[in-house]
Amino acid sequence: MNKEQALFLLVFLPLIGAAILPLIDRASVKLRNLTAFTLVFASFLLSAFILPTVIGGREINIILNLPLGFNFILTADILAVFMAMVSSFISAIIILYSFEYISHYENQREYYFMVVLFLGAMMGLVFAANLILLYVFWEITAITSWRLIGFFREKQHVLRADKAFLVTVFGALVMLLGFIKLHSETGSFDLAAIKAAVKAHSISNLAIGLILTGILAKSATLPLHTWLPDAGVAPSPVTALLHAAVLVKIGVYVFARLFIATMPLGALWHAIFPVIIGLSALVSAGAALVETDLKRIIAYSTVSQIAFIFLGFSMGNEIGIAGGLLYILMHGLGKAGLFLCAGIIEQRTKTKDITQMGGLIHVMPVTAISFLFCAFSVMAIPPFGGFFSKYMVIAGTLQAGHLAIAGIFLFGALLTLMYLFRTFNMIFLGEMNKVPVSGSSPLMVFCVALFAFLSLAGGCFIQYPNRIVAAAVQQMTAKPL
C-alpha cells in the first residue's frame, strides 16, 4: 500500500464504513460495535503509518481538479498527521467506552453511525487543503454533533442540540463568506495557491474577521460559547468526543492551518484576538467556579482551556505554537478522561449535581484516582502532560512580550486549579450523601484509567510527542509567510 492510498483510506474508511454500520447492526450488535471501533482505530493506524514519511519532510497529496475551483485536495503534512493521530486515538478509546455506556439506551444504530461519520469527517477536515472541501467536512461534523447532542430525544435536549447546531452553522456561514472574500482576493480556494498569493499582497482584515467568527463559534469561545455547556445534555461519551477532545479542536486546528501555516493574521487581529481569548478564559473559568452541574463545569473548563491553545497559536513564536499543539494532545486526553469519569459518576448516582454527591472515593476508588490524575493534567501540575503544554504557551506569550496577557492567563490557570479541586472535593471527599447504585463496568473504568495513565505518561515521556510537534512547528513556520 502506498502512502497516497493510505491517506485516502484513512479518510474514506470511516466515512463509507459509517454507512455500512446500520446494516451490520441487523446481523449482530457485537459485530457492529467492533466494526465501529476497528474503523476508527484503522484511521489511527493509517495515520501512524504515514507519519514517518511526512516527518521525513515529504508531503502526501491527492489532487483532483474540479470545476469552479471546488477542488478535491487532501494534503498530509506533519500538523495534519499529528492532529489526525490525536483525534482518532482519543475517539477510539471513547468508542470502546461507549460499548458499555450506550448499551443501556435506544437509538444505538444512529449513535454509532454518527460517531464514525463524525470521525471520518474530522479526518477529512484535517487533511483538506481546499477551503470548500474543508467547509463541507466542517458542516458534516456539525450535523453529526447536532444529532448526537439530541440523542436522548428529550424536549429540552433537542432544543439545546438545535441551539448548538444553529450557533455553529451561523459561524460557519460567516466563515464561508470569509472564504469567498478570500477567494475574490487571491483567486483560489486552494491553500497552496492562497499561500503563494499572500506573498504578493496582504489579506483584508474583513476576510480574516469573518473567518475568525466561524472558528470562534466552533471552538466555543466568548461570545459564541454558550452552546457548549448546554450541550452537556448529550451522553457522556459524546460530550467527551465532541465537546472536549475533538470537535472543539476543529476551530483551533483550522486557526493553526490558516493563520500560521498559510497566511499571517494581520496586525489588527493580532491586537484584538488575545483580548477576546483572555476574556473567554477568565469568564468561563469564573462560570466553572460557580456551576454545580458536573458536566457544565467541565464544559466551561473546556472553553477556558481552548483559550490557552488559541493564545499559544496567536503569539507567533515557535515555543508558543509548539505549546499549543501539545496542549491539543494533553487537553484532549485529560478532558476526555474527565468527561468519561463524569459519565460513570452520572450513571451510578443518577445525578449531575455535585452538591448532592460526596465521599464517592470509597465506592469508586479507581474512578476517583483517574479523575484526579486527569484533573492534575488539566491544572498543569508537573509532571503531568498538561504542565508542559501550559508552561510552553505562557513562555511563548512572555517571549512575545505580552506581559499583561500572560498575567491574565496565569490567573486563569489559577482559577482552573480552584474549580477542579472544588469539584473533586465535592464529589469524592467528605460525607457520603447518597449511596450510589452498585456496579460500574470494568470496561468503562479501564478507559478512564487509560486516559489518566496517558496523561501522566504524556508528561513523563514528553520528548516523544514533542519530537513530532517540533517537526510540525518547523514545517509550519519555516516556509516564509
Partner 1 sequence: MTSLFIFAPFFLLVIINFPLGFLKGRCAFCLAASLLLAQVLLAAFHPWLFWSAYPDCLRQFFGFPLAVDNLALIMLFVIGIVALVSLLTAQDTLAGEKQKFNFINLLLVALIGMNATVLVTDIFSLYVFIEVTAMASFILIALEKGKFAIEGAFKYLMLSAIASVFMLTSVAFLLLTAGDISFAAVHHVLTNVPGSFFLKLAVGLFLCGLLIKSGVVPFHGWLPDAYSAAPSCVSVLLAGTVTKISGVYILLRLFSSVFTLTPALQNVLLFAGAISIVFAALAALTQDDFKRMLAYSSISQVGYIILALGCGTPLAFVGAVFHFFNHAIFKTLLFVNAASLEKRFGTTDINQLEGLGEKCPVTSVTSLVAMLSTAGIPPLSGFWSKLIIVMALFSKGRFIYAGTALIASIITLAYFLSLERRIFFNKGKPAPAAGGTATQISRGLNPAKNFSGIACAEILLAVFTIAGGLGYAFMLNTWFLPLKAIWH
User: Where do contacts with partner 1 occur on this chain (CB under 8 A)?
Assistant: 66-68, 70, 132, 135-136, 139-140, 142-143, 150, 153-155, 158-159, 161-162, 165-166, 169-170, 173-174, 176-177, 180-181, 183-184
Q: Count CA within 13 A, CB hemisphere, residue 430.
A: 14
Q: Minimum distance between the CB of residue 240 and partner 1, rounded to whole angstroms?
A: 22
Is the CB of 122 or the CB of 142 nearer to partner 1? 142
Is the CB of 28 or the CB of 65 nearer to partner 1? 65
Q: Are 178 and 155 in contact (CB under 8 A)?
A: no
Distances (CA, A) of 140 to 116, 189, 372: 12, 19, 34
Q: What's the grid cell of residue 376?
A: 492534575
Task: Give long-range contacts, CB 8 A cutoff, 24+ apart: 156-160.
Answer: 156/233, 157/233, 157/234, 160/227, 160/230, 160/231, 160/233
Q: Minimum distance between the CB of residue 118 and partner 1, rounded to whole angstroms?
A: 14
Closest CA to 239 of 419, 98, 420: 98
Is the CB of 34 or the CB of 180 nearer to partner 1? 180
Is the CB of 101 or the CB of 151 nearer to partner 1? 151
Q: Minimum distance between the CB of residue 143 and partner 1, rounded to whole angstroms?
A: 7
Closest CA to 150 of 114, 96, 99: 114
Q: Minimum distance between the CB of residue 110 and partner 1, rounded to whole angstroms?
A: 9
Is the CB of 153 or the CB of 362 nearer to partner 1? 153
Is the CB of 142 or the CB of 338 nearer to partner 1? 142
Strand partners, 130: 190
Q: Minimum distance between the CB of residue 43 and partner 1, rounded to whole angstroms?
A: 19
Q: Minimum distance between the CB of residue 373 and partner 1, rounded to whole angstroms?
A: 37
Is the CB of 59 or the CB of 162 nearer to partner 1? 162
Q: Minimum distance between the CB of residue 80 and partner 1, rounded to whole angstroms?
A: 20
Whole-number Å distance between alpha carbons of 77 and 57: 8
- Scanning 350-402, the segments in alpha helix (DSSP H) are 365-379, 385-399
Give 235's contacts (C-beta < 8 A, 6+ positions apart).
98, 101, 102, 105, 111, 148, 151, 152, 343
